[in-house]
Amino acid sequence: MTMSHPVILHDYWRSSAGYRLRIALRLKGIVHRRLSVDLVAGDHRSPDHVALNPQGLVPVLEIDGQVLTQSLAVLDYLEETRPQPALLPVDPAARAHVRAIAQAIACEIHPVSNLKILQRVEALAGSDARAAWNRDNIANGLTAIEAMLDHPTHTGSFCHGDTPSLADCVLIPQLYNATRWGVGFDHLPRIAQVAATCAAHPDFTAAHPDNFDPSREARATEEETP
pLDDT tens per residue, range 112-160: 988 788 889 889 998 888 889 999 999 999 999 999 998 777 779 999 9
Nearest-5° angle of CA 46, CA 25, CA 164?
130
64-116 pLDDT per residue, tens: 999 999 999 999 999 999 999 999 999 999 999 999 999 999 999 999 988 78
Distance CA 163, CA 114 (A): 29
Name the phi and psi angles at 165, rounded to 5: -130, 175
- pTM of the predicted protein model: 0.91
